[in-house]
Amino acid sequence: MSCVAVAVAGLWASPDAPRAIDASALGNPALLEHWLAALDDDTRLALCKEKRLATQVLLDTPVGILERRRDSQGNDWCRVVVPNQRSSLDPRGYPGWIPATQLAEGEGCLAVGTEAATVVTPVAWMQGLPQGRSLKLSFLTRLSVATPSSDEDLSRIWVETSLGRGWLPRGSVHLPDESFPAVAATLETLGRRFDGLRYLWAGNSSFGYDCSGLVHSLFAAIGIALPRDASDQVETGQPVELGERRPGDLLFFEKPDDTGRLVVDHVALYLGEDRMLHSPTNNARIECRRLGGSRYAEQLCAVRRYLSTPEAS
């Protein structure tokens, strides 16, 4: 079994998709914040317009390796699928390319379906790693819980990872028997913690989300697995009339593509009272805004429901 061995790995369109400015995101460790700080408006926008980045994958997430290749610079890459990110692009999971140096084999990797400690704060520092290292982790990173010892500090949760044994502050994680209530209020509370976070095309971590990455992560936090992309998400859930939406529903929006065909290209979480939470577009930031009177009201094409009863809102 193989898994991601950096805090957040990018899944790229091809080994030649990254540019020189992306180099700091490709190593081990991945210097994600350094990379994001170096991107200006144009280089961020190019990730989208040129479809360079496909999605992001968190530490210890299992992947299936399909192919290995060396790029023009002599760096080794793996074409993989990510089973926990469903996609119509591949029934095995989201497909793309990851630098081989950002993958680990076997020991420490979290098997699919394994119970784990889950980061539930926007970020959390894992400390106590070999050589005294520490690592800043994203919301929803899942790691195997280490076997406790008799003198365990109750303020810490020890975990076994592909990078070795480390610990996380107890308040930053849920253990396997802990969960958030699967209600609309939880989705809003979790989502509002990311107010102001800058949009990132293909972002699926709390260092930057795109629209579908944000809702994919919020619903995963309450135990509901959505596909990764908005175009696939709209094919799931219970269809709801546009005027019957309620808190916790997802709103989908459409625009013409390059051929003039209308396609779903945006998704938002409905909060009730004409409010929605979303990660709007390139070089904007996650926000809560009114739907009425906006361009989004004109583009709204579908509503989908995942919470089963009105009481769940």
Looking at the annotation, which residues are catalytic? 211, 266, 278
Q: Which string of DSSP letters, residue by residue, matches 241-276? A: -GGG--TT-EEEEEEE-TTS-EEEEEEEEEEETTEE
Angle at 117 between CA 182 and CA 247, to 5 degrees: 15
Please give the biggest Cα pair distance in the chain: 65
**What letter does residue 309 receive in the DSSP assignment?**
S
Q: Is the dihedral of CA 78, 83, 86, 87 positive or negative?
A: positive
**What letter does residue 104 receive in the DSSP assignment?**
E
Both tokens of 24, joined, read 């700091």
Nearest CA among 137, 140, 129, 206 for reference residue 174: 140
Contact 120, 180 (CB under 8 A): yes
**What letter does residue 90 receive in the DSSP assignment?**
B
Both tokens of 154, joined, read 């109750």
Helix, strand or coil for residue 232? helix
Q: Which string of DSSP letters, residue by residue, matches 137-151? A: EETT-EEEEPPP-TT
Contact 207, 6 (CB under 8 A): no
What element of type H or E holds 27?
Answer: none
What does the alpha-carbon distance between residue 280 and residue 288 come to, in Å, rounded to a whole number? 10
